[in-house]
Amino acid sequence: MRGLTKSFGAVRAVTDLGFTVEPGSVTGFLGPNGAGKTTTLRMVLGLIGPDAGTATFDGVPYAALADPIRTVGAVLETAFHPARSGRNHLRVYCRAAGLPVERADEVLRQVGLADAGGRRAGSYSLGMRQRLALATALLGDPGVLVLDEPANGLDPEGIQWLRGFLRHLAHDQGRTVLVSSHLLSEVEQTVDRVVIVGAGRLVREGSMADLRAGADGAGTVLVRSPEVARLAELLRADGVPLTLDGASLTVTGRTTDEIGARAFAAGVELHELRSRTSGLEEIYFQLTAGQGQFAAPAPGTAAPLGGAR
Amino acid sequence: MIALVRAEWTKLFTTRVWIGLLLGACVLAGGFSVLFTALAGADTDGGPGIPPVGNPEYEELVFSVGAQANILLLILGIIGMTQEYRHRTATPTFLATPRRHRVVTAKLLAYGLVAVPFALVVLAVNVLVVMIHAGARGDAPSLGGDNLRTLASSVLVLVVFAIIGVGVGALLRNQVGAIVGSLVYLFVVEAILSAIGAVRDVYKWLPGGAVQSITSDFETPGLLEAWQGGLVLLGYGLLAALLGTLLAVRRDIV
């Protein structure tokens, strides 16, 4: 993906965006709402024509793929014809792609919808729609999967299932997975690499391990102690940023281990010591702060409401 | 392309829209068959009435009511195309077939072909009702010669209107807009144009004039030949589909 740019009217949705997704891994595509994630994925899949730039799969643009359904599976939409059953929806795309219609039942089983296949899609819950969309993506047994916010509408159990399923698809079956989300915590345990965007531009690209390493100790830690004032003095003397609030302290930039050691050395009694936000979340927030679509209007224009859809 | 046409048929027959439209078309054809037969030869106080049963003009009239169901086939074609946008299935459809003109072509073929059995069912209702009713009134028409030609031309009109529907849907994308727009055009704009003598020369080239030229066996001044009318109608459908493919279908699916 190179130099992708797209404007909707006066709104610059994506600007000169480029990154590469490594085969056989799960890549998280992260950014706040309105950062241009959906627009980017739709450009990659040929549904939206970019103003500039190219996106290719092994060097071939989506529209030029000889057999798109067997090459790339995509979850972009949770809307279906309400009167058509889930199974019949899948059969339509089996026929269009020249696959045997039995594939419909196979993928329904894979996503756990085997019993609901005969029901009208209009009666499905949002979680079931996500599963049906995933089933559609799996029809052609593709080597690449592109998923736009697949965890939306899933219950905690569903999210747990999705994490395992994506890891299984990538690590056990060797598929390439690109999954977008506006929550780092949602994909943190699933993804191997991250691509973070804000206001349509690339903010950070790298492995999850690198991001974690940079995030060590960047979180905030909550401390409760009867001698909170003395501990605050000690930490201030070390130059540690903190806020004092009654009987508790919020410390930034130190791990729980470091603060625990400091308190122990000084003989300060602790009643509670826990990390309040992970360093990863803190870093993600800093990287994308103020970069949502509505926080960053194009120069000289007011931020239009809902301009991108 | 065969796979794509079959995919369109699967889409059509896995919802119940087609049943409603086919029933509607049958009721329309059957209802007008009864009405025209009942009123055939009735005294209309000197006004232009329906010729009596047994008269060839009555037979032409009553065997062309099937063509009046063209509105329902038009709506079938419009829904077939615009439902992709209305229910947002355009996304998976264009993911499966990124070369979008192939989707439009498949729909033109699928709906043109499916309109043939639909038209035959509508005409079967038409013929059955006329045979029984006119037979009861003393003179069941024969199914040969001019009458057969009238029926065949009704099939042609119905099939071509399904194709026009796909074309109009591709051009307008908005289901309600396409249906309302087509109805307003056919029942308001053309009704007015056909009544103005001065634009008679233009009217014969419009869809309404073309339909008349196909369904009327008797030479009507100012109309095209039947085969010309058929080509004009098909031309409108394909032109709308071509413009739709170039202007509307290629647009971003956001």
Per-residue model confidence (pLDDT) at position A304? 43
CA-to-CA dists, residue B22 to B18, B29, B118, angstroms: 6, 11, 7
- Rg (chain A; Cα; Å): 23
Residue matched to tokens 């302290």: A249
Per-residue model confidence (pLDDT) at position A89? 96
- Asked whether the predicted pLDDT for residue A187 surpasses 90, the reply is no
- C-alpha–C-alpha distance, residues A95 and B7, integer Å: 5
Residues constituting chain B: 254
Q: Select the residue of A48, A65, A95 nearest B7 (Cβ to Cβ).
A: A95
Per-residue model confidence (pLDDT) at position B139? 83
Strand partners, A135: none
Mean pLDDT of A15-36: 88
Per-residue model confidence (pLDDT) at position A75? 93
Mean pLDDT of A222-238: 88
Please check whether residue B109 touches A, CB under 8 A.
no
Per-residue model confidence (pLDDT) at position B220? 63
Per-residue model confidence (pLDDT) at position B46? 64
Distance from CA of A223 to the nearest CA of B (A): 48
Per-residue model confidence (pLDDT) at position A296? 44
Distance from CA of A237 to the nearest CA of B (A): 55
Lowest mean pLDDT among A47-56, A249-258, B72-81, B125-134: A249-258
What ipTM was assigned to the predicted interfaces of this complex?
0.89
pLDDT confidence tier of residue A84, bands split at 50, 70 and 90: very high
Q: B7 and A308 in contact by Cβ < 8 A?
A: no
Most confident of A47-61, A233-247, A292-306, B198-212: A47-61
Angle between helices A126-138 and A156-167 (to 10 degrees): 10
Total CB pairs under 8 A between chain A and B: 83
Chain B residues in contact with A99 by the CB 8 A cut-off are none
3-state secondary structure of A55: coil
3-state secondary structure of B23: helix
Mean pLDDT of A129-147: 94
The type of residue at A161 is W
Sheet architecture: strand order including A248-252: A242-245, A248-252, A220-224, A272-277
Strand partners, A57: A60
- C-alpha–C-alpha distance, residues A95 and B135, integer Å: 47
Q: Select the residue of A82, A91, A97 nearest B96 (Cβ to Cβ).
A: A97
Q: Select the residue of A46, A96, A309 nearest B254 (Cβ to Cβ).
A: A309
CA-to-CA dists, residue B171 to A59, B109, B161, angstroms: 33, 17, 15
Q: Which residue of B has its CA nearest to A38?
A: B254
- C-alpha–C-alpha distance, residues B90 and B96, integer Å: 10
Mean pLDDT of A252-260: 84
Per-residue model confidence (pLDDT) at position B93? 95
Q: A79 and B95 in contact by Cβ < 8 A?
A: no
Per-residue model confidence (pLDDT) at position A290? 61
Q: Which residue of A has its CA nearest to B2?
A: A96
**pLDDT under 70 in chain B at which residues?**
44-48, 217-221
pLDDT confidence tier of residue A306, bands split at 50, 70 and 90: very low
B 4-23: CB under 8 A from A? 4, 6-7, 10-11, 14-16
Mean pLDDT of A51-58: 89
Chain B residues in contact with A84 by the CB 8 A cut-off are 11, 14-15
